[in-house]
Amino acid sequence: MEVIDLRSIMPWDSEMVFESVKKTNRLLIAHEDSLTMGFGAEVAARVSDECFEWLDAPIVRIGAMDCFVPSAPNLELEVLPSAAGVLAAAEKVLGY
């Protein structure tokens, strides 16, 4: 397992991500943006185009719910991804 923290999304380090997928044969994308039309969808699409033959499991994404992010901190916790959600997604992708 590897963790890659993309510090920029334009340009994003696609080669590093592709190399990681080729080593681990899996991809879990976690970000605070919405799942629908979030940047993680672009990463997933590019990885499926460039690295499909190396994937041993479906690409798994975790992100914010498809709604506006509220201003109240207690409501943010309900909308944004949590550590527990990331752990559950990691267990899912590693289960293949």
pTM for this structure?
0.85
3-state secondary structure of 19: helix
At 15 the pLDDT is 95
Structural element, H or E, at residue 32: strand 28-34
Per-residue model confidence as pLDDT tens for the chain (96 residues): 899 998 888 899 999 999 999 999 999 999 988 889 889 999 999 999 999 999 999 999 999 988 887 889 888 888 889 999 999 999 999 888
Task: Write out the two tokens for 16.
Answer: 């590093």
- What are the chain's domains? 14-94 (3.40.50.920)
